A and B are shown apart, each in its own frame.
Chain A
Amino acid sequence: MAHLSVDNVDLSFETATVLTGATLTVDQGEVVAVLGPSGSGKSTLLRVIAGITAPDAGTVTLSGDDLTHVPTHQRGVGMVFQENQLFPHLTVGENVAFGLKMVGIPAVERRATASDWLARVGLAGFDSRQVSALSGGEAKRVALARTLAVEPRIVLLDEPLTGLDRELHDRLARDVSDLLADLAITAILVTHDPDEAATIAVRSLHMDDINE
């Protein structure tokens, strides 16, 4: 049975129609890449799944639950943003622990968990650093750790590796791929780079296939 299904989602903004009857299913544990040029609605699709943008029509279902009218913070959908969106007023450790704090895990425990996750993405000991002092690759790893730390039901990756230089890009792509495989987590990767899609995902779709 499909873990995530997006059915017939329509969405238009003041100036443009972005999604028309968008339909997509992802199985449990599957990593799917969504390809398409910029402006084709890839990011918007992820926002609809996360509940950040409400669709005009259609439904989003996750393990049988209709999420269409569930607010973002109750969906259990994790998302890594293109610009990371790390919180600049919090340390690296506090960023990673943020989601754990939201579910009421005590401070000591969440600090330990955050440290573990930082080690897991290759940033052991970065806990008390300032977000503004991170390099591009480091910030991306922190964003990934922050999203994975809350063990979401599905992870959405919005062009996570865009803008990094080639060598860093390739290394991170392999690391992300390994991490997702280790966790056996369901994920959707949005990208415009077919090589990146091939490295990280097991199945690739084009926006043209998703929109009606």
Chain B
Amino acid sequence: MSALPRRVIAALSIPPSVGLAVFYVWPLLTLSFRAIDGDAVQTTLGRRATWEVAWFTLWQAVVSTLMTLVVGLAPAYIVARFNFRGRQLLLGLITALFVLPTVVMGAAFLALLPDGMNQSIAAVIAAHVVFNLAVVVRTVGPLWEQLPSDMEGAAATLGASPWRVFTMITLPLIRPALVAASSIVFIFTFTSFGVVRVIGAAGTRTLEVEVWRQAIQLGDIRTAVVLSILQMVMLAAVVVWSSRAQRRYSQPLGLEPSARRMPRRGSERRQVALIGITSFAVCGAPLFALAARSFSTPSGWSIAAWTQLGRTEVRPGIRLGIDPLDAVRNSVENALWATLFAVVIGALASLAIAAARNTGRFLDVGMMLPVGTSAVTVGFGMLITFDQAPYDWRAEWWLVPIGHALVAVPFVVRATVGVLRSVDPQLHAAAATLGASPTRAWQTVVVPFLWRPLTVGATLAAAISLGEFGATSFLSRSDSETVPIAIEQLLGRTGSLLQAQGYAMATVLAVVTIALVAAVDRSHQLRTLARSTINGPN
């Protein structure tokens, strides 16, 4: 589509451009300049503690990534190669875990593992693995599915045992997808924030958590700024490495249409059954534990946590600073506003991008940038930028929804631009030959195509906002916690009722998120995108 007057395109692109400049570019610049300024860099980088945190961030991400690959290959294999009962259900379950808010996933593992074991590095890594299984299954699976199984048969006729067929033929051939999957998982786990904070194990501070701790708990903005930049530099190095590696390992493959089949031999059936049941257990257990713990008290099963969600009195006369129902109200309000902002800005940007040719690409790349930045960085940047009059917006009700919208806009744009670009230019020409002015023709031909993708975008934006924790940790005011913030606080308190309430709220959030994403889970592309915002870098 094109042929829209240039001034209309310009008018369309002004609001998104201004929004991006004010709420994304400016905060990031502020962050960078604060870091350059002064000797904070020297002090921070000279501290042993800094490098301990950096080292922990790195090795836990490497271990999490490797384990995710190892654990994920088995379900990827059966899903790619076989038809079996429960296949769709398994895929759905793995995807559902993938879109859960980070706080919920942390809570699920806190609930699953026995006390004493659940606040440990192992729990963090286990949560990362289950969280990211979908990346492996959905990235490696499609390639594996299309590898000709006869190629493995050919290796076997040449004397290769099943293990050698796997290591010498299959593994090298799926390596491009493995590299892609591992770089995605690495980025997610390197920037892990919500999971780590909720599990709260001693000595497990990622750079993201340390940025938050320094800035919010200790009030040391200068150190936090340097750590934030250090994190971005390390992340950028990984991204460069992974894109090089992916290019190196790409090779022409003779892919075939999928030939999934029912498992045949007894041994094959047992293998598929074993992997399938284990995968269901591994993926289902955290969700089950989450719900179960909301009914569990030291004196047996009880629905007290659910019935008392609205009460803020811990004991007669003693109030706690957390009001679960209030948090729900705040989250819903935030989500409505964030969705509205994201949809309006996203729609304008999409229309401008699709209508303009070359200049549109500039806006397109710009609108995608927030996806590549961790939500913690976004939130922290906004916190230190909008703290002086006349820009002291920290107390404004709209700051949190704007932060959420910033994270959600790329998904609205991706959902919409593709559809708009595929609108047949012939339709436009036809309308013009019938005497419609360019703007009129555009209204009749293009605008009707907007509703579907915008509905998808709005749903995703709402899901993203409801579960957002990274940016919110910096931006929410203490009297207006959102649900994820309340969950983290409840689980961090002692007292079984408070913990059970935390698990109850996490259960609700899990159900709502899964329902929202499932409602729009049609397009594969959206599914992949959805994760990187909902949980992704935050």
A residues adjacent to B (C-beta < 8 A): 13-14, 47, 50-54, 71-75, 77-79, 81, 83, 85, 87-89, 98-99, 102-103, 132, 146-147, 150, 152
Contact of A54 among B165, B261, B264 (CB under 8 A): B264
Cα distance, A35 to B265, chains bound together (Å): 28
Q: Return chain A residues, CB-CB under 8 Å to B161.
A: 71, 73
B271 to chain A, nearest CB (A): 13
A47 near B153 (CB under 8 angstroms)?
Answer: yes
Nearest CB in chain A to that of B267: its residue:
A54
Q: Apart from A54-B264, A73-B162, what are 5 other A-B pairs with CB-CB below 8 Å?
A: A71-B156, A79-B154, A79-B157, A88-B251, A102-B158
Q: Are B159 and A50 in contact (CB under 8 A)?
A: no
CB-CB < 8 A to A88: which residues of B? 173, 251-254
Most buried by A among B150, B154, B159, B162: B154
Q: In the complex, what distance in Å separates the CA atom of A77 from the CA atom of B159?
A: 9
Are A132 and B153 CB-contacts (below 8 A) given A73-B159, A73-B160, A102-B159? no
A-B interface pairs (CB < 8 A), number = 78
> Which residues from chain B contact A98 at a C-beta distance below 8 Å?
155, 158, 160
Q: Which residues of A have CB within 8 Å of B122?
A: none
Given contacts A87-B151, A132-B252, contact A77 B262 (CB under 8 A): no
Cβ B252 vs Cβ A50 within 8 A: no
B window 243-262: CB within 8 A of A = 251-254, 261-262
Measured CA separation A180–B178 after assembly (Å): 42
- Considering residues B151, B156, B173, B252, which has the most beta carbons from chain A within 10 angstroms of its beta carbon? B156
B496 to chain A, nearest CB (A): 52
CA distance A89 to B155 in the complex (A): 13
Residue numbers in A under 8 Å from B264 (CB-CB):
53-54
In the complex, what residues of B have CB within 8 A of residue A150's CB?
A: 158-159
Q: Contact at B159–A81, with CB atoms within 8 Å?
A: no
Query: Which single member of A14, A74, A81 contacts B261 (CB below 8 Å)?
Result: A14
B284 on interface, CB distance cutoff 8 Å: no
Contact in complex: A52, B156 (CB < 8 Å): yes
CB closest residue in chain B, given A43: B150
Residue on B nearest A11 in the bound complex, by CB: B264
Q: Which residues of B contact A81 (CB under 8 A)?
A: 150, 153-154
Q: Is B169 an interface residue (CB 8 A)?
A: yes
Which residue of chain B has the shortest Cβ distance to A85 in the bound complex?
B154
Query: How far is A132 from B250 in the complex, measured between Cα atoms in Å?
Result: 13
**Which of B153, B159, B253, B254 has most A Cβ within 10 Å?**
B159
* 9 pairs of A and B residues whose beta carbons are closest in the complex: A99-B158, A102-B159, A72-B156, A85-B154, A52-B153, A79-B157, A85-B151, A89-B172, A54-B265
Q: Produce 1/0 per residue, B31-42, CB < 8 A to A.
A: 000000000000
Query: Which listed residue, A14, A50, A103, A147, touches B153 by the CB 8 Å rule?
Result: A50
Chain A residues in 8 Å Cβ range of B148: 83, 85
Chain A neighbourhood of B440, CB < 8 A: none
Residues of B within 8 A of A73 (CB): 156-162, 165
Cross-chain contact of A89 among B164, B251, B261, B262 (Cβ < 8 A): B251
Residues of B contacting A77 in the complex (Cβ-Cβ under 8 angstroms): 157
Per-residue contact bits, chain B 125-162, to A (CB 8 Å; 1 contact, 0 not): 00000000000000000000000101101111111111
Complex interface: chain B residues within 8 A of A152 (CB): 157
What is the minimal beta-carbon distance from B251 to any residue of chain A, in angstroms?
Answer: 6
